[in-house]
Amino acid sequence: MNTKQIFSSLLFLLSILVLIPWFIATSGRWDLYYTLTSVALLAIASAGVWLTFYIGRINIGQGAFALLGGYITAILITKAHFSFWIALPLSGIGAALISVLIGLPILRLRGVYFAMITLVLTEVGRLSALALPITNGAKGISNIPLPGKVSLFGIPIIPDFATLENPRIGFYFLAVCLMILCFAVVFRLVHSRLGHLCRSMQQNEELTASIGVNIAYIRIIIYALCSFMGGIGGSIFAVMSQSIYPSSFQVADSINFMLNCFLGGLGYVFGPMLGTVVLYFGWDLLFQTGKYQMLIYSSLLILCMLILPNGLLSLRLPGRKNS
């Protein structure tokens, strides 16, 4: 990392960890915490989708894994009385394991075929949640308790969320910290040799196989990592809203995860984060236009893709090669 990158990362950390909470405290707009937490969680899931784009797969199935993560957390907490802090990683791991099983056959497909299958996957997720006995059908699982406190050697590290004056602050910091962690991992991965291998696979899988790379193995690893992030995002989402329903993550959400990546830029690690912010707030801002909301929103998206096919970040960094 060069000095400019370190400086901008520090500035970014400062703004989301200090400036935004300070702004919310002074302006009294506590509702923003909920919005921003949602954005952070959606960005985590989108980062996973971005990774599958990085190996040349269009993934419209992240909603299924977010839903899965949410249900695993909900079931573990309400039925097995696990602590949220154990259920959270287990949700990610559970989603990753399922994605390995599903990925083994479907990752052989490419292009539009993979996209179609993953799109169906989201719907399969919703229908399974409706049908399975453990998920409580359309009623979903509600009254999920807030995360409890965590202490190490008697020293409290994370306070009990229920005792907080505003539990949303807790969720905000949790989501934002995880988002930073996820993007740091993706950044590191992309700039390591593994990232180079992913890029080779994106450009030509046969050639990559011919140089002795086990492409099936790398595809599975990346897809599992993607689903892990989806599961984590869904898990926190379920606990934050204290409920999960089959309709919590639908096809529209899966498509949004993909759009976030497109909009931010497939060539940039931080593309999905920017895409999520712009798309989420853009949609809300257009709310005032009433019945024209969808029309304007869609037209703007089409314009963006025509004018900026490489995403919003290509605007800020003209001439810079993909990183």
Q: Which stretch binds other proteins (CB under 8 A): 4-12, 42-50, 200-208, 291-299?
A: 200-208
Task: Give least dist CB 200 to other proteins, A.
Answer: 5
213 binds other proteins (CB under 8 A): yes
Q: Which of 319, 217, 317, 211 has the alpha carbon at shortest distance from 274? A: 317
**How many residues in the shown chain lie near other proteins by CB under 8 A?**
24
Among 2, 210, 306, 319, binds other proteins (CB under 8 A): 210
Q: Which of 255, 257, 275, 256 has the alpha carbon at shortest distance from 265? A: 275
CA 239 – CA 186 distance, rounded (Å)? 25
52 binds other proteins (CB under 8 A): no
CB closer to other proteins out of 170 and 267:
267
Among 8, 163, 214, 299, binds other proteins (CB under 8 A): 214
Task: Give least dist CB 4 to other proteins, A.
Answer: 21
301 binds other proteins (CB under 8 A): no
Q: Which of 189, 191, 146 has the alpha carbon at shortest distance from 169? A: 146
Among 3, 105, 143, 206, binds other proteins (CB under 8 A): 206
CA 297 – CA 290 distance, rounded (Å)? 11
Maximum C-alpha span of the chain: 59
Which residues lie closer than 8 Å to 267 by C-beta, 6 or more apart? Answer: 310, 311, 313, 314, 322, 323
166 binds other proteins (CB under 8 A): no
Which residues lie closer than 8 Å to 29 by C-beta, 6 or more apart? Answer: none
Residues that bind other proteins in the complex, under the rule CB under 8 A: 188-189, 192-194, 196-197, 199-200, 203-204, 206-207, 209-216, 218, 221, 322
